Structure 1
Amino acid sequence: MRPDYLKQGEIARLFPVLATTSKEGRTTSIVLSCLSRVQEFGNEMLTSVGVKIGKRSQIECYTEIVFQAEKIKPNDRPDGLIVVKNGSREWRALVEAKVGNATLGAEQIEKYRAIAKEQGCDAVITISNEFTSAIKNHPIADVRKSRSKIPVFHWSWMFILTNVGLLLANEEIEDTDQALLLNELRRFLSDDSAGVKGFERMPPEWSDINKLVSTGGKILAKSDEATSVIEAWHQETKDLSLILTRMTETYVHERLPRKHIADPVQRQKDELALLREDNQLQSTLDIPDAAAPLEIIADISRRTIDVGMLLKAPEDKKSSKARLNWLLRQIPNDALEGLTVRCNWPGRSEATQFSYADLLTAPELIEEGKSGLQVISFNIFLSKRLGARFTQQTNFIVDLEDIVPRFYREIGQNLVAWRKSAPKIKADRDDSEDVSVASISEDAEKDAI
């Protein structure tokens, strides 16, 4: 039954009766319908925007809505409404969705914010093929900068599809019929007709930045081109984390400092400084239970993608060669071409670097020029020079999304971090009597002699 405050609105349908050209309306209706009908899916998605879902919570979703006391233009009508009921309390969010190549607009979103404020709604949720590092940090800068107190959250379609896949893969759907329904949603969203896709190409400014760097130019502090490139990089690294999530069937997150999570503007400034000073774009991905975070560098000067992991050297091995052999035993002999090991040393001693192939045949190389020192950590990484493909908007993304998963599949997932062994009971103290007060007193007397 439609709520009293709605003048117009349909319950979100699994099989919406819409024009064949209304791909956007159809996709939105089907997803919102599943959101309200598959409990675990609804819980997962709404928890991501900070809504607490209890056992007695009810989720209702509507499409093509118009409020009773609203003077609204047809073009300003939200695509949907999500209502979460907890007893007498309600949490409501307007939904704006785009599919395919259609992008969200800041002006339209601000209108929905105004409607939300007027109608007592709690938030606006946007859905599109655009990506964001955090759900609360909108991909559109003007939306983030707005002074409106109505929060705007963002789900990418791939984020939704990834969550659906994980819930099914981990068998988290208790009801068999609901699991079947969610699998049908997965089939629908993964079909080309739904208009769902990943991040596919860098912006035109990517080529301009590459040309500037290759000719020895300096990226300006207020470069609009650099800002556009960084925003695209953020979208791609989020998509990359979702790709690895689907491949590993576990949540992979981009690792960000707290200050960057809280302040996207500061993140933009810091990454612009890195781009200007080092001509690099960087990202770090956290993979649950992996030996170390996955570190990714796109180096514009070298037109190279580096992906690797930093492992602490085992402290129970005395020589650097023994510590290196501990690492080499974890890597397949036919490892990827271009695999490199950087050895980090204590104090001011400079790092040394060798190809994996050279170390495999002559591990003693690690100790050359480092007499009396013990290696403290290893950075094992794959460095792939792309040449002209690096500067191309689409091929850069294609190669990045090939290299990163390939490194993790063939190297990263096989690595194990070193851990200190559990403390062992001493041979002369294997009985409680050996550590009694009397025994301790006796030991003290012996030491005093």
Structure 2
Amino acid sequence: MAHESWHEARLIPTSGINGADEQERRATSALLAVMTAVKEYGRSLTHRFGAPAGSVNTFIEVPFQLGEQTVIPDGLIEVKRGSRSWTALVEVKTGQNELAATQLENYLDVAREHGFDALITISNEIPPIAGQHPTKVDRRKTKKVALHHLSWTQVLAEAVLQKEFRGVADPDQAWILGELIRYLEHPRSGAMEFDDMGATWVAVREAVRAGTLRPSDKGVEAVANRFDALLRYASLNLGRQLGTEVTPVLSRKELAEPALRTQSLVTTLASSGTLSGGIRIPSTVGDVCVTADLRASTVTCWVEVDAPREGRPTTRVNWLVRQLKNAPEELRVETRLMHQRGAGPAELLRTVRESPASIAGDGTREIKSFQVALTRPMGTKRGRGRGSFIDSVLEAVDTFYADVVQQIKAWSAAPPRLRTEAEAAEIATEQPEVTPALVSTAISSQDDERAAGD
């Protein structure tokens, strides 16, 4: 019998999903059930919100009375450890559905009345900055109840990290977690990927090309926020492949005041037509910086690499070139010199391979670092697919990391080496005779009394 056309039975099937309500209900039930069954996964999702490391119990569609109306959150999570209990309501959206402020405020009121700790929302919305919620609610309602958000991309990435890299102790539980991953990766699950730069993307892009964009124009802030959200998605996507936590690079001020980051992006976009950000990957030589130039229609990824602290200039250049033996020849390498103002000598990698001296400088100043950059054509479409801006950025980041960043190891000085007896003897024979120094007979205050008397 031919098995090729047979569909394997799945613990969480995607067949039979009719409409958004069924999609939402099935995703909620599947996620909460697996959080209970796979304790490592349940712990990885709840500990970030302040839950204790205890047993996880989950429920769906729990009704509550709020005044004269009945409200039914999609789920409830309860974590117990000894006498301590942590409880959170859960609201879930799938597909293109967005969270509603009124609904969330009602759930916050319910949580406050019952003494619950938090309200967790899950949707395909990715806020531009981690910790920021995509829906604006009355801040007074979050004084006693914490409001947290997870994107489906983050839920999926956490599941992959736990199963493939951190590990699950029980093989059956690992299989269950794998079934959740299969379900969330299916297009019909409603756990969609980042797939849209927003309704104002085309208008803003065209205004940048025409040179007419102003910081106050409608939709500029929305595009800036979507770009930051794209960097977060790229970080989650890369981290899922690497098995580590990859995060966007933000200053302390930007983390404390997200509006500062947005305003910086808006100003730069209006003045130079570029959107820029950084991605931090643990144990790499530096942060991966991403710049999208809407005027030139290019995406550039670059990294700053500290140069060796010893050796001739060409030796330092060759140190970098040896590590880039499999990198694309159109890679641009720029030398940063000590006390340098402006750009340093730069050439494509194909030229540097043939002539390391082309970027070594004139030898009067020491090489401080190298900037290695890869430029790719930028897509223009707002959605996903061929010719899209999102795909061009994601592809540039993945390619740059695979071909460049992961190939470079930071320089470290070689440890001092002990001389062999033969080397020590050879050095001794080569040393010239040293005339004994004259002996001082003058008495010093440092001499003892008997020496002074003698």
Q: Percent identity?
A: 28
Amino acid at match of 1:70: L
Deviation at 1:133, TM superposition (A): 5.1
- The whole-number CA distance in structure 2 between the counterparts of 1:43 and 1:204 is 37
Matches within 5 A, 1:102-251: 102-132=97-127, 135-140=130-135, 142-143=136-137, 148-149=142-143, 150-170=145-165, 172-220=167-215, 222-251=216-245
- The whole-number CA distance in structure 2 between the counterparts of 1:426 and 1:301 is 60
- The whole-number CA distance in structure 1 between the counterparts of 2:123 and 2:60 is 16
Deviation at 1:391, TM superposition (A): 5.7
Quickly say closer, same or farther: Cα 1:133–1:45, change in 2 above 3 A.
farther
- The whole-number CA distance in structure 2 between the counterparts of 1:133 and 1:447 is 76
Quickly say closer, same or farther: Cα 1:64–1:14, change in 2 above 3 A.
farther
CA deviation profile, 1:105-138 (whole Å, cap 9, x unmatched): 2232222222222222111111011113555311
Amino acid at match of 2:250: L
Amino acid at match of 1:255: V
CA deviation profile, 1:340-390 (whole Å, cap 9, x unmatched): 11211111343232111111122221145x34122211110101233xx33
CA deviation profile, 1:185-233 (whole Å, cap 9, x unmatched): 111111122111210121121211221121122422x444111011111
Matched, 1:65 2:62: yes
Aligned to 2:325: 332
Amino acid at match of 1:256: L
- The whole-number CA distance in structure 2 between the counterparts of 1:131 and 1:337 is 36
User: CA RMSD of the aligned region, Å?
Assistant: 2.9
Quickly say closer, same or farther: Cα 1:58–1:327, change in 2 above 3 A.
same
TM-score by length of 2: 0.83
Aligned to 2:49: 49
Aligned to 1:292: 286
Aligned to 1:27: 27
Aligned to 1:306: 300
Work out which of the two has the higher radius of gyration on C-alpha atoms and give 1 or 2.
2
Aligned with residue 346 of structure 1, among 334, 338, 342: 338
- The whole-number CA distance in structure 2 between the counterparts of 1:47 and 1:92 is 12
- The whole-number CA distance in structure 2 between the counterparts of 1:349 and 1:50 is 48
CA deviation profile, 1:423-449 (whole Å, cap 9, x unmatched): 556899xxxxxxxxxxxxxxxx97998
- Where 2:318 maps in the other structure, the secondary structure is helix
Structure 2 gaps of 5+ residues are 1-10, 422-435, 441-454
Aligned with residue 390 of structure 1, among 367, 371, 380: 380
Deviation at 1:167, TM superposition (A): 1.2
TM-score by length of 1: 0.84
Matched, 1:355 2:348: yes
Deviation at 1:44, TM superposition (A): 0.3
- The whole-number CA distance in structure 1 between the counterparts of 2:128 and 2:50 is 16
- The whole-number CA distance in structure 1 between the counterparts of 2:275 and 2:158 is 27
- The whole-number CA distance in structure 2 between the counterparts of 1:179 and 1:23 is 24
Matched, 1:263 2:257: yes
Deviation at 1:157, TM superposition (A): 1.0
- The whole-number CA distance in structure 2 between the counterparts of 1:366 and 1:135 is 39
CA deviation profile, 1:295-349 (whole Å, cap 9, x unmatched): 11112232211112110010112x222111110000125x325311121111134
Quickly say closer, same or farther: Cα 1:205–1:87, change in 2 above 3 A.
same
1:205–1:228 CA contact under 8 A, matched in 2: yes
- The whole-number CA distance in structure 2 between the counterparts of 1:171 and 1:102 is 32
CA deviation profile, 1:389-408 (whole Å, cap 9, x unmatched): 33644400011111110111
- Where 1:43 maps in the other structure, the secondary structure is helix
Farther off after superposition, 197-206 or 145-154: 145-154
- The whole-number CA distance in structure 2 between the counterparts of 1:14 and 1:36 is 15
- The whole-number CA distance in structure 1 between the counterparts of 2:400 and 2:438 is 56
2:153–2:236 CA contact under 8 A, matched in 1: yes
Deviation at 1:40, TM superposition (A): 0.2
- Where 1:104 maps in the other structure, the secondary structure is coil
CA deviation profile, 1:265-302 (whole Å, cap 9, x unmatched): 23223333333333322221121222222111112232
- The whole-number CA distance in structure 1 between the counterparts of 2:137 and 2:234 is 24
Amino acid at match of 2:66: E
- The whole-number CA distance in structure 2 between the counterparts of 1:145 and 1:232 is 23
- Where 2:367 maps in the other structure, the secondary structure is coil
- Where 1:189 maps in the other structure, the secondary structure is helix
2:198–2:382 CA contact under 8 A, matched in 1: no
- The whole-number CA distance in structure 1 between the counterparts of 2:62 and 2:174 is 29
Aligned to 2:393: 400
- The whole-number CA distance in structure 2 between the counterparts of 1:347 and 1:363 is 21
- Where 1:379 maps in the other structure, the secondary structure is strand
1:94–1:124 CA contact under 8 A, matched in 2: yes
- Where 1:132 maps in the other structure, the secondary structure is coil
- Where 2:239 maps in the other structure, the secondary structure is helix
1:275–1:281 CA contact under 8 A, matched in 2: yes
